[in-house]
Structure 1
């Protein structure tokens, strides 16, 4: 029952956000989360664009074993990005534009380049970051 109440609470919240933003182009709207299940469900109900399957495929295309972040060099990274952008064009122009203008350069600068330069480990995860945060505190 708790998950249903949380989902309803998030849905109610995002419905108000959607109303407050009415009349404003939402092409650059980004909602960040810690992948809380109830929040993800609420966002997909109130602001649908991509199906769960499409989101899962995109995540795999970026973070999967042969995904974008596994690129060995800049040429390979750019090829994988072009392939993904073509795929995204058929799914969501809005997300493709976000990927091209915002996510692509961030992933290269903050993930791919540091992994290639051995500044961070390829297997680094949010849990690893949270653990290190705890150690530093």
Structure 2
């Protein structure tokens, strides 16, 4: 967790470069996979820092943020009517839309077909200039390569949810750092570890992805271990 007072490149890079150095040092011990995946919204400072600190990592962009950004451009920058706007959004994000193409050829075909349909509109220019590359590189390609492929496009809802929990917990008002950490962040992180333990034991709201299932441990096996052994196992994830 990073507590920061600004969203500058320098701030984020300090954090991500530290992570990168730790991963290189401890990769064998922690069994960090080579194909690291980072997901974020389209905040430029953060995405650029992830790119620079982890150049070989796969980067995902939140499809919800991309949808919201595109909708904002269509509605407020161009003034596209509701019916046409909904058609454009469906042609891009729908089940058979551009970002859900099954391969690179289909992506290009779908993209070109879509641009031909709106060739005379400003929406075509916006799509080509601001969104097409992001949709291809950070949404469609990672989705196709994902071994644990979901039918739903990736969003950073979990991060947004915990952010909302924090802001509600402090009643949308600034607090001193010691109080914030001691009384609010600690409790939120504690709940996350409760979810983690449930995930490791095969119950609860979350599940392990296929590359991490070797960490799963049944309740029966856990009960046969001492408290120290169970705590040592959990410290693998601290």
**TM-score with structure 1 setting the length:** 0.57
Q: Where in structure 2 are the equivalents of 1:1-137 lying within 5 Å?
A: 44=75, 49-90=79-120, 92=121, 94-118=122-146, 121-124=150-153, 126=155, 129-133=156-160, 134=162
Partner of 1:23: none
The whole-number CA distance in structure 2 between the counterparts of 1:34 and 1:81 is 16
Larger radius of gyration: 2
5+ residue gaps, structure 1 = 1-31
Q: Deviations over 1:12-57 (max 9, x none)?
A: xxxxxxxxxxxxxxxxxxxx8985xxxx7xx95x755311011100
Asked if structure 1 preserves the Cα contact closer than 8 Å seen for 2:78 and 2:123, the reply is: no
The whole-number CA distance in structure 2 between the counterparts of 1:124 and 1:70 is 8
The whole-number CA distance in structure 1 between the counterparts of 2:66 and 2:100 is 24
The whole-number CA distance in structure 2 between the counterparts of 1:82 and 1:111 is 17
Q: Deviations over 1:44-71 (max 9, x none)?
A: 5x75531101110000000111111121
The whole-number CA distance in structure 1 between the counterparts of 2:87 and 2:108 is 19
The whole-number CA distance in structure 1 between the counterparts of 2:93 and 2:82 is 16
Superposed CA RMSD in Å reads: 3.1
Q: Deviations over 1:50-105 (max 9, x none)?
A: 11011100000001111111211111000000000011114x1x221111122111
- Describe the SS at the equivalent of 2:80: coil
The whole-number CA distance in structure 1 between the counterparts of 2:102 and 2:140 is 8
Partner of 1:5: none
Aligned residues: 95
5+ residue gaps, structure 2 = 1-64, 163-187, 193-238
Asked if structure 1 preserves the Cα contact closer than 8 Å seen for 2:98 and 2:111, the reply is: yes
With over 3 angstroms needed to count, the CA separation of the structure-2 counterparts of 1:124 and 1:66, relative to structure 1, is: closer
